[in-house]
Amino acid sequence: MEALGQTKIIAVDKTGTLTRNEMVLQRVYVDGKIFEITGNGYEPKGEIVFEGKVIDPLNHLELLFSGKIAAFCANARSSFIKETDSWKIIGDPTEAAMLVFSEKVGFHHNVLEDESPKIFELPFDYSRKYHATVHSVGDNNFLTVVGAPENVMELCKNIWHPASSSPDGRDGVLLLSEDRRKELKAVFHKLAKGGFRVMAYAMNSGVERSINPLAPPPLTFVGFFGMSDALRSEVREAMKKVKDAGMRVVMITGDHSLTAEAIAKEADIWRQGDIVLTGEDVDRVSSEELARKLVHASVFARVSPAHKMRIIEAFRSRGEVVAMTGDGVNDAPSLVAADLGVAMGKIGTEVAKEASDIVLLDDNFAGIVSAAEEGRGIYKTIKKVIFISFLHEYGGSISDYRRACFRIPATSGRRANYLAQLCYRWFSQCRACYGAQGEWAHARKV
């Protein structure tokens, strides 16, 4: 608590700390069309809206194809809790949003898995930034990939078009030209600026039973999923308290820089003149240059656990006291490296909790601010106690020193060994100050 009271920089993850951690898939871009998906939370109910009108997804092949890919790449599961009258998920929130979308367009995950069993999976990785699965569909092995648009699109050679037939490819597939890539990037950037977490999805309908991650087969681009995770209602008020207390918040996220900037503006973290640093930016600069850039950097996007370590070390090299939030196994090194590690109590792994100094039970950013205020109160009290004790001991020691040097008799009339009293007072004072500093140093993990 005392260490948190001295914190100057609070580095927070976006998802779950600033937001509700309820990822909802609200936009689908496929075959040049943007569909709006309605609904609340993880409840598998909602309508599909196209050009302002509610439509039946069964009449739109592109929606059904998108829903099937979403279901294939979703390992999360949802269930209804009667006690709380709410839907809960087990697994990654992003994949949970994809699962719920697939259910809204009519798919049942268990039935789909029985009919088209999964035969291979390549889990999401920070270096690849995509998740891939291979399912047995009829006589073919059907590869589906969902991940960061810039990474997925780099692997795509074709684009899916359900009603096309071209000499460049078989029915349903066209070559992905450079002009078309630019159009897709424009759509991607527009969604990201709207604050959506954008995931690209692609496929290949004829692959082997497994794929080599170092040499993946060429993909056919299908579309984008746009997901939203609403800010917690108390975040803006908490940000005001942080600034009033002289602290600064920086946001660290795996989202695209445009999405991160939009969320940071909404949360009142990003201000005019601030910059956004990506993981690639961090890799390109030296530690000294990174430390200089931190003065104006309030958002870090597309970062990996290794990038988090460098960011924390750069802040500490500037003499800043840093509190870091984290929830995953890969966050453990940065939680240890920070002056104060704060783990998430609900979504955090046991490894992250063990590596942290504080566990935030409700995963709420406002709780960090409240703890910082309490910590500052405790630290101020400790300083006052030490200062008053010093004044008291200093005054008594001067009196003892005067008596010992000039042999002035004690006012009580009793003879005393004034030199022994002097030594005892100074020894007690030094021991008290050393003990207080030792406790403070231990709290900061120095």
- Are 296 and 276 a contacting pair, CB within 8 Å? no
CA distance 252 to 172: 40
- Report the distance separating Cα 80 and Cα 85, nearest Å: 7
Hey, how many other C-beta atoms are within 10 angstroms of the C-beta on 183?
12
Q: Which own/partner pairs from 428-435 qualify as long-range (CB within 8 Å, at least 24 positions apart)?
A: 428/393, 429/389, 429/390, 429/393, 429/394, 429/397, 432/386, 432/389, 433/386, 433/390
Query: Residue 224 and residue 220: Cα distance in Å, rounded?
Result: 13
Sort 168 into a burial class: Cβ within 10 Å, 0-12 / 13-18 / 19+.
exposed
Query: Cα dihedral sign for 354, 355, 357, 359?
Result: negative
Provide the 10 A C-beta neighbour count for residue 344.
26
- Return d(Cα 217, Cα 211) in angstroms, integer: 7
- Strand pairing partners for 314? none
The continuous run of DSSP H or E covering 202 comes out as strand 197-204
Question: Please, where are the H alpha helices in 194-249?
Answer: 235-244
Long-range contacts of 416-425 (CB under 8 A, 24+ apart): 422/397, 425/393, 425/396, 425/397, 425/400
Cα–Cα dist 124/146, whole Å = 9
In 3D, which of 419, 252, 258, 415 has the Cα closest to residue 326?
252
Which residues, 6 or more positions from 206, have their beta carbon under 8 angstroms from its beta carbon? 140, 141
Q: Using an 8 Å Cβ cutoff, are 28 and 35 in contact?
A: yes
CA–CA distances in Å: residue 300 to residues 145, 264, 292, 295, 366: 25, 10, 15, 13, 21
Q: State the catalytic residue, choosing from 13, 255, 327, 363.
A: 13
In sequence order, the β-bridge partners of residue 249 are 10
In whole angstroms, what is the distance from residue 322 CA to residue 338 CA?
6
The residue written with tokens 């739109």 in the block is 60
Q: Is 274 a catalytic residue?
A: no
Enzyme catalytic residues: 13
